[in-house]
Structure 1
Amino acid sequence: MTWITLLLSAIALAGLFLAQFRIPVPQIGGEYVEGVVGNPRLINPIFASANETDLGLTRLLYSGLVRFNGKQEIVTDLAENYTVSEDKKIYTFNLVSNAHWHDAKSVTARDVAFTFALLEDPTLASPLAGTFAGIKVETVSEYTVRFTLPEVYPAFLSALTVGILPEHIWSIIPRDQIRLAEMNLKPIGSGPFQFKRLIREETGFISRYELSRNAEYYRQPPYIKDMVWQFYSEYEGDNGMLEALRTKKVSGLNFIPTALKEKTAVKHVRLATLQLPQYTALFFNLNNEGILSDKTMRQALSLAINKPKILQETLDNEGAAIDSPVLFGFPGYKNPLLQLGLPEEANEFLDKKWSRISAEDYRQKLITEYVEEHSSTSTASTDTTSTLAISGATEIEKTLSPAQLFYRINKNKTMAILNLVTADTPEYREAAALIAGYWQDIGVKTNITYVSQKEIAQSILKDRDYDVLLYGVIVGSDPDQFPFWHSSQVKYPGLNLSGYTNKKVDEILLKIRQTSDSQQLNDLYLEFQKLLAEDVPAIFLYSPTYVYVLGNQIYGFAVERIAHPADRFANVTDWYIKIGSEWKFKK
């Protein structure tokens, strides 16, 4: 027995000795299923910035000339290298020669020029059109492309992260039909993953979207074999995304609201809190000829808001209260001056132009109007004024808050009533309720409409159908405020959600795009913020953090800062699920 024991001991020692020369390494394989509340519409770089789901998918399917890495640094992508002229108006890019579309055709400079021609075409109404207006794009050779800018644009490189389209696919589709093309849902790109299949329900809702590894990717091909997006219409409920996470039907979630974070406490996931240049604001629709055309009203509405309280109640302080769209880390950032809510001061503002009317007097006013309206339309002979008044009172009570002690009316007999629209999420429901409460304390009645995130993207933003919009804006890596506040961006698909116009602001925003001097840039942004604060086109509330729910089976995730939620995939080619080992001997 002794020799057997010695043999086994020797084998064990040899195994331990050899094990120190084996190291774990990523292996190709595995499937990652990410749950997403939303649905894809146009998985096309030209349109995707209007829909966060589309933008995330384009990040996996397409490639840009440059991209952001996990530290939000610009690095080359389809471009092998580039040069910038001395006057900073000419950018020349040399493309890698081994990049191919998912149908095996080569990516060339013609594809780049074609993509930017589409971006500028007014027929397509791309949200990015304004960014590239006036820029000349020309092919120098098969793999070289040149951009000539009309003016210096310091943030131009960051704009070139937009995905490039294959000319041979899209050039045969009439431009007025591009939005309708099937290729918007079954794209051919050049990114690390390629389209595999989608599952669409009878209702038209796409419930599952599958991507497969692009083994011919021109840089390091991904390790994960299949990347799957499972779509849901809501977070909670038996068919909601959280239940799918609990039962392991999905491996992770693209985002979790703060109010639901505790419900992700399952063993197979971890939470990644990422820094995201995003803010939530109340956008006043200045194109509506209503009470918001009165600057005094807008100032009073702003004074009444307790921003720290809203941040605490909606996000449990996971973010920062703000008073400007210029966020921390951007040129011109200044520490916010945050009030805790000043209803007394706000009421003093309004008392000069808006008379108070007691809650009872307002109730009687509405009942009288109800009786008059229904008396003229009613055909029932038994209806009397008293019965109409009773039924009217019953209906009216449903629309009034017992906590609102008074209302306001101006000299034109216009009541201070606002229609606030926002997404139907726990965060925005909580915020909207608090805001309505603050405004009722200064005599302003607020009617709240909650709509799906899909409806926000498809109709609310397009039609600008709101008095006030409670909404979150992702600024991105580029601090440029032009897309959000220049008057040229008032109409859809522009992102000037307040319909704000100010010639001085327009001039400043143009100057910002033309300067690379850091001090001048800082001064211009400070002046921009001053003018914005004077005009009050919006109330800036808070900048939240972004919480990504990542499956524990994923290794290699190394992202801390993102400009868009889609940037969570910045190092997706480094992610892996399968682990192997290899020999490594010391030299």
Structure 2
Amino acid sequence: MSNLKKIWIKLKNLQFKINQKNEQNKQRKFFNHDEKLVLQNTVKNKFPKAKQIKFISKYLSKTEKIVIRIASGVLLITLASLLINLYWNNSQHVPKDGGSYTEGLIGSPRYINPLFASANDTDLDISSLVFSGLMKYSDNGLITDLAESYEISEDQLEYTYKIKDNVYWHDGEKLDSEDIAFTFARINDKESQSPLYFNFKGATIKALDERTVKFTLENPFAPFLESLTVGILPQHIWTNIPAANMTLAEFNLKPIGTGPYKFESLLKNKNGEIKSFNLEKNKNYYNTPAFVNEISFKFFESFSAAVEALNNKNIEGISYLPKEFRERVINNRNLNFNLLHLPQYTAIFFNYDNSPILKDVKIRRILAHATNKEKIVNNILNAEAQIIHSPILPNSLGYTEEITFYPYNVDHAKTTLKTLGWELDNYVIESEETEEEETTEESTDKEVEEPKQVKEEYPFQVRKKNNRYLELTLTTVNQAESISIAKELQKEWQQIGVKLNISSLSPEAIKEVINNRDYELLLYGQILGFDPDPFPFWHSKQTTYPGLNLTSLKSDKIDTILEGARKISDDAARAKNYTEFQKLIAEETPAIFLFNPTYTYPQNKKIKGFSTSKIITPSNRFNKITSWYINTKRNWK
């Protein structure tokens, strides 16, 4: 029995081994088949198919697997880099809506109304963003704004304008030709007391249809197009407000216009003073709307206070930065100092009605010879100005260098003065002096002595003729740049024996002095228009307020030339008049023309797209404000 059991056990073991071997043969056959399949397909297709890749790991060592993972990572990074470079090289930054900008202005707003804004730079700045005119300024001259097109008659007496059809007021009403006619009717109404009254005196306007208006002039007036840059008022808002009450209306501080920005809010302090004024983007603007959503203004009494606010980052720009404040700006790296060309000149104006000495044209020319313009421009203005010798600026219509001017020449000035009988003499200053005595009970009954006349010699000799010293007084505004120029003139003229006294006044006080022509010499600047028309500044009828002729010049020849130029539409012909005008001004020497300054406009670098280079008035720095932007995005080129 035991033998049978042993045989049975051996048979079982044999069967198990046979079964195990058969199983191994099956597995070997399966793997050989797969291997053959993989190899055959790989040879056939050169690259494994996706369903074959799952078997690769069975044939790779650990090191090979790591190498493949690293190579795959490098491949992915390379592909990503190529895609990024492809996008970057074929796309660009473009402006994106959003952001806000805050600017500091000197002074406070009163009339944000185009009929009155020209008298105040702050009003004009804000008004230029809220209102639109038929025409507007650009770097290349005048272009249409509200107007779609215009025509001028051959006799230069009729100007016909076609208005754009897609213009809406900020309150949603549509603009039409009646708004245009109403605005100019109010300007011509004396009761409105608009400073623009004289610009349109004698002109009539008529609305021909909903989109057409016609201006008719009494006489040809070449600069008339420039007058049409004035903003237009909404008739439906102002028609029920009498002309005499226009300056009292709340719409002067809560304006409704058609410009790229509209009124949002204002903030007053407890004294009723406006501290900030906020505008928001006009999304329905008839041209391309602005990118920057909000423009805010904060108001300061002085440039010093404005610069401090800029340094403290309470504002992001200032309307204008005088040169003497440049070094006080501490965050220069965050600012762009935009240098703009302004049609303005600074001159010394002679009022010889108030000074017998200045009636002699030879004395006026001598003072010109004693004025070192180059030193003033280089040392005081840091060379940020252009020396001039004429009221017609370089690159303006009719400008010529073929005029007589009086270069800096101290020796010539001294010799000429001596020839005219002006001899150097000791200048004696007489002043009153009272001897102070100690006050005691014993001296209370003492007789008080009369003031004594004390004579003091001026440290420099002054020229004298017919018992009269060559002594003059120069009036200027109380600002650092003007004072520095005045003191430099004082030193220069002192060299030839002229005693120059300086009277510096606040901006408010000097306006009164100018209106009354209460000065001998005036150091002051005048802003011209786009058209170089000198009539308002040099015609004999403009020597009294509100005229802008700041000298005593009265010349029939000059008057005739200026009157004639206004009637000439051909630029070449008008230029001849202006050339002759400059020659006569040089002969008369009613002023010493010093320089044409640059206008420095500091602005935070977050503002991009500022490209203005020429301005007519300071408010023109906003001419291209719809192109300014803060945020950006990338678009395919």
The two structures have a TM-score, normalised by structure 2, of 0.79
* Structure 1 counterpart SS, 2:333: coil
Q: Of residues 447, 462, 475 in structure 2, which corresponds to 1:421?
A: 475
Q: Of residues 319, 324, 331 in structure 2, which corresponds to 1:254?
A: 319
Q: Of residues 462, 474, 489 in structure 2, which corresponds to 1:406?
A: 462
Counting only pairs closer than 5 Å after superposition, residues 165-564 of structure 1 correspond to structure 2 as 165-201=233-269, 206-236=274-304, 240-264=305-329, 266-288=332-354, 291-335=357-401, 339-350=406-417, 356=423, 358-360=425-427, 362-363=428-429, 366-367=430-431, 370=432, 382-384=447-449, 388-389=452-453, 402=459, 404-408=460-464, 410=466, 416-457=470-511, 459-564=512-617
Alpha-carbon distance in structure 2 between the residues aligned to 1:118 and 1:500: 34
Quote the residue 1:66 is aligned against: 135
* Structure 2 counterpart SS, 1:252: coil
Q: Is 2:172 the counterpart of 1:118?
A: no
Change (3 A) 1:371 1:20: closer
How far has the Cα of 1:352 moved from its partner? 6.7
Change (3 A) 1:450 1:209: farther
Q: Please tell me whether the aligned partners of residues 475 and 503 of structure 2 are also in contact (alpha carbons under 8 angstroms).
A: yes
How far has the Cα of 1:18 moved from its partner? 4.7
Alpha-carbon distance in structure 1 between the residues aligned to 2:162 and 2:302: 45
Q: Is 2:206 the counterpart of 1:138?
A: yes
Cα distance per residue 1:91-113 (max 9 Å; x no partner)? 11111122122222222222222
Alpha-carbon distance in structure 2 between the residues aligned to 1:351 and 1:573: 61
Q: Is 2:106 the counterpart of 1:52?
A: no
- How much identity, in percent, do the aligned residues show? 38
How far has the Cα of 1:145 moved from its partner? 0.6
* Structure 1 counterpart SS, 2:545: coil
How far has the Cα of 1:149 moved from its partner? 2.3
How far has the Cα of 1:37 moved from its partner? 3.0
Q: Please tell me whether the aligned partners of residues 561 and 581 of structure 2 are also in contact (alpha carbons under 8 angstroms).
A: yes
Quote the residue 1:376 is aligned against: none
Question: Does 58-67 or 143-152 show the bigger shift?
Answer: 143-152
Q: Is 2:165 the counterpart of 1:97?
A: yes
Q: Please tell me whether the aligned partners of residues 24 and 579 of structure 1 are also in contact (alpha carbons under 8 angstroms).
A: yes
How far has the Cα of 1:167 moved from its partner? 2.5
How far has the Cα of 1:90 moved from its partner? 1.5
Alpha-carbon distance in structure 1 between the residues aligned to 2:271 and 2:417: 49
Change (3 A) 1:491 1:190: farther
Alpha-carbon distance in structure 2 between the residues aligned to 1:519 and 1:10: 65
Alpha-carbon distance in structure 2 between the residues aligned to 1:81 and 1:7: 59
Cα distance per residue 1:259-284 (max 9 Å; x no partner)? 33344462111122222221101122
How far has the Cα of 1:30 moved from its partner? 0.9
How far has the Cα of 1:20 moved from its partner? 5.1
Q: Please tell me the root mean square deviation across aligned C-alpha atoms, in Å.
A: 3.0
Cα distance per residue 1:252-305 (max 9 Å; x no partner)? 222222333344462111122222221101122344365444444433333321
Q: Of residues 97, 117, 130 in structure 2, which corresponds to 1:28?
A: 97
Unaligned runs of 5+ in 2: 1-68, 435-444
Cα distance per residue 1:302-341 (max 9 Å; x no partner)? 3321222221222122222111110111222123766453
Q: Please tell me whether the aligned partners of residues 265 and 278 of structure 2 are also in contact (alpha carbons under 8 angstroms).
A: yes
Quote the residue 2:4 is aligned against: none
Q: Please tell me whether the aligned partners of residues 340 and 598 of structure 2 are also in contact (alpha carbons under 8 angstroms).
A: yes
Change (3 A) 1:125 1:421: farther
Alpha-carbon distance in structure 2 between the residues aligned to 1:81 and 1:422: 45
* Structure 1 counterpart SS, 2:397: coil
Q: Please tell me whether the aligned partners of residues 161 and 214 of structure 2 are also in contact (alpha carbons under 8 angstroms).
A: yes
Alpha-carbon distance in structure 2 between the residues aligned to 1:181 and 1:535: 47
How far has the Cα of 1:542 moved from its partner? 0.7
Alpha-carbon distance in structure 1 between the residues aligned to 2:294 and 2:125: 16
Question: Does 421-430 or 347-356 show the bigger shift?
Answer: 347-356
Change (3 A) 1:67 1:61: same
Change (3 A) 1:495 1:118: farther
Q: Please tell me whether the aligned partners of residues 323 and 540 of structure 1 are also in contact (alpha carbons under 8 angstroms).
A: yes
Equivalent residues, number: 557
Change (3 A) 1:94 1:406: same
Alpha-carbon distance in structure 1 between the residues aligned to 2:220 and 2:283: 39
Change (3 A) 1:324 1:381: farther
Quote the residue 2:35 is aligned against: none
Alpha-carbon distance in structure 2 between the residues aligned to 1:317 and 1:99: 45
Alpha-carbon distance in structure 2 between the residues aligned to 1:506 and 1:359: 43
How far has the Cα of 1:8 moved from its partner? 5.9
How far has the Cα of 1:31 moved from its partner? 1.1
Give 1:300's aligned amino acid: I
Cα distance per residue 1:117-157 (max 9 Å; x no partner)? 33334445544333322222111112211012233333322
Give 2:283's aligned amino acid: A
Alpha-carbon distance in structure 1 between the residues aligned to 2:268 and 2:502: 33
Q: Please tell me whether the aligned partners of residues 125 and 493 of structure 1 are also in contact (alpha carbons under 8 angstroms).
A: no
Change (3 A) 1:150 1:234: same
How far has the Cα of 1:116 moved from its partner? 2.0
Give 1:210's aligned amino acid: N
Cα distance per residue 1:485-528 (max 9 Å; x no partner)? 12333333322222533222121111111113344322211221
* Structure 2 counterpart SS, 1:44: coil
Alpha-carbon distance in structure 1 between the residues aligned to 2:127 and 2:157: 28
Q: Please tell me whether the aligned partners of residues 404 and 586 of structure 2 are also in contact (alpha carbons under 8 angstroms).
A: no
Give 1:341's aligned amino acid: Y
Give 1:388's aligned amino acid: K
How far has the Cα of 1:6 moved from its partner? 5.2
Q: Please tell me whether the aligned partners of residues 368 and 407 of structure 2 are also in contact (alpha carbons under 8 angstroms).
A: no
Alpha-carbon distance in structure 2 between the residues aligned to 1:186 and 1:409: 62
Rg larger for: 2
Q: Is 2:136 the counterpart of 1:82?
A: no
Q: Please tell me whether the aligned partners of residues 536 and 542 of structure 2 are also in contact (alpha carbons under 8 angstroms).
A: yes
Q: Is 2:107 the counterpart of 1:38?
A: yes
Alpha-carbon distance in structure 2 between the residues aligned to 1:137 and 1:235: 42
Q: Please tell me whether the aligned partners of residues 258 and 427 of structure 1 are also in contact (alpha carbons under 8 angstroms).
A: yes
* Structure 2 counterpart SS, 1:58: helix
Alpha-carbon distance in structure 2 between the residues aligned to 1:289 and 1:172: 51
Q: Please tell me whether the aligned partners of residues 59 and 566 of structure 1 are also in contact (alpha carbons under 8 angstroms).
A: yes
Quote the residue 2:227 is aligned against: 159
Alpha-carbon distance in structure 2 between the residues aligned to 1:537 and 1:574: 43
Alpha-carbon distance in structure 2 between the residues aligned to 1:78 and 1:211: 21
How far has the Cα of 1:175 moved from its partner? 2.8
